[in-house]
Amino acid sequence: MSINTRLREAICVAGMLAVITAGCSHEKVRSEDRPVVPVRVTTAFTRSVPVQVRVIGNGEAFSTVSIKSQVNAELMEVHFHEGQFVKKGDLLFTLDRRPFDAALHQAEANLARDQAQLELADVQAKRYVKLYEYGVTPKEQADQMQANADALKAAVLADKAAAEFAKLQLQYCFIYSPIDGRTGTLMVHVGNLVKANDVPVLVVINQVTPMYVAFSPAEEVLPQVKKYMALGRLKVEAFPPDDPQRPETGFLSFVDNAVDSATGTIRLKGTFQNANHRLWPGQFVNVVLTLTEQPNAVLVPQQAVQTGQDGQFVFVVKPDQTVESRAVTVSRTFEGNAIVEQGIHPGEVVVTDGQSGLVPGARVEIKTGLRGG
């Protein structure tokens, strides 16, 4: 081999080594010059969280009574105002009592007349029995007098029943509230003739203390509801729209006996004391049914959980201030936090803001410090 050939080979080898060295040096610079991403972080934490069902519900009166007249009469007085709360036994309406007073007087007069005739018939029957025993009168006549007395006894009983019925009809002229509740719109006014058990009703009364809230969650929760209801009373909270920070608290009192096949839901009811009348029949409210408590659940803020092509993940900050992408399994959310079933351990630091500039292995700068749960 000539000297020139060996020289050319040496130059080529030196050139290749220079290129390789330059490339490695360039890669090293690129790694060291990668920008630091500013992020906000927090630590995963544990706590006991309730297992809850959240759904929209609406208020229902504990009981509803439609007030009707039981007699035909003119409406004389109304003793309440529309929308007024009334107590059981409060007088609501007075009807014209005069025809019923007259009917009662007539029944009492008939009773007095037949009682007087009965007293006479009893005396005559006893007299004729003695005359028959002495052989003065035939037995047929004594039997006839006894039959007259018995007939008048039956007439007196009928008169007493007629008098009681007349008293009852007179009592129907005074209509009282059968429950504690709030009155609705007055449907019939003074001067109108009302008929027995006819429409329109006089007024509708809704009992609102206590009252129900009805709601219909998906049928999938029914096994859990039955399971935990068998262990004790389940708490139900209703959040009125005008004051969502202060819920009314009650308990689950009713589970329907069939699933609605059209909607795939099961109808439930909670009972609330509603002492301050914050809940109202027909009102829509947010309902939270608490089934049980989940101890030592792992939580991270919802904004820490990202969604990619392979599912949900979070960026975890390692001790060397670089991040790794960690796949997680989130079961549900609670008060702005995601409950993580798999993928994160308590105390691990996760990124809550700035994920858009991150890739696995990126170096981060924590701007706001660690914020524990």
pLDDT digits (tens, 9 = 90+) for 119-134: 999 999 899 888 888 8
Give the pLDDT of residue 5: 52
Residue 43: which pLDDT band, with cuts at 50, 70 and 90? very high
Query: 241 and 132 share a domain?
Result: no
Residue 245 is predicted with a pLDDT of 86
Angle at CA of residue 244, ends 243 and 250, nearest 5°: 100
pLDDT recorded at residue 176: 98
Computed over every residue of the chain, the mean pLDDT equals 89
Mean pLDDT across the stretch 288-302? 95
Start-to-end CA distance of the chain, whole Å, equals 77
Is there a domain that residue 196 lies in? yes
Q: 6 pLDDT band (50/70/90 cuts)?
A: low
Q: In this structure, are 177 and 77 located in the same domain?
A: yes
Query: Over pLDDT 70: what percentage of the chain?
Result: 89
Which of 295, 317, 347 terminates a domain? The answer is 295
**What pLDDT is attached to residue 92?**
98
Residue 2 covered by a domain: no
Name the domain boundary from 264, 295, 326.
295
Which of helix, strand or coil describes residue 318? coil
Whether the full predicted model's pTM is greater than 0.85, yes or no, is no
pLDDT at residue 230 above 50? Answer: yes
| Triad 53, 59, 62: Cα angle to 5° | 115
- Predicted confidence (pLDDT) at residue 1 exceeds the cutoff of 50: no
pLDDT tens figures, 250-276: 999 999 999 999 999 999 999 999 999
| 40 within some domain | yes
pLDDT, one tens digit per residue, over 276-285 is: 999 999 999 9
Integer Cα distance of 305 and 352 in angstroms: 8
Say whether pLDDT at 27 is over 60.
no
128 occurs within a structural domain: yes
pLDDT tens digits for 165-213?
A: 999 999 999 999 999 999 999 999 999 999 999 989 999 999 999 999 9
The pLDDT value recorded for residue 22 is: 43
Structure tokens at 372: 């524990």
Quote the tokens at residue 257. Answer: 């006996």
Coil, strand or helix: which one is 190?
coil
Among 295, 324, 356, the domain boundary falls at 295
What Rg value do the Cα atoms of the chain yield, rounded?
45
Tell me the three state secondary structure of residue 255. strand
Residue 311 maps to which CATH number? 2.40.420.20
Helix (H, G, I), strand (E, B) or coil at 27: helix
* Between 27 and 281, residue with greater pLDDT: 281
Domain residue limits at 80: 69-95+173-201
CB atoms within 10 A of CB 308: 9
Residue 286, phi-psi category: left (phi > 0), alpha (psi -120 to 50), beta (remainder): beta
Quote the pLDDT of residue 182.
97
Residues 82 and 106 in one domain: no
Kindly state the average pLDDT of the residues 92-114.
97
pLDDT the model gives residue 133: 85
Return d(Cα 150, Cα 144) in angstroms, integer.
10
Give the model confidence (pLDDT) of 309-366 as tens digits. Answer: 889 999 999 999 999 999 999 998 888 999 999 999 999 999 999 998 899 999 999 9
Q: What is the pLDDT of residue 136?
A: 84
Closest CA to 315 of 301, 307, 305: 305
Q: Are residues 78 and 197 in the same domain?
A: yes
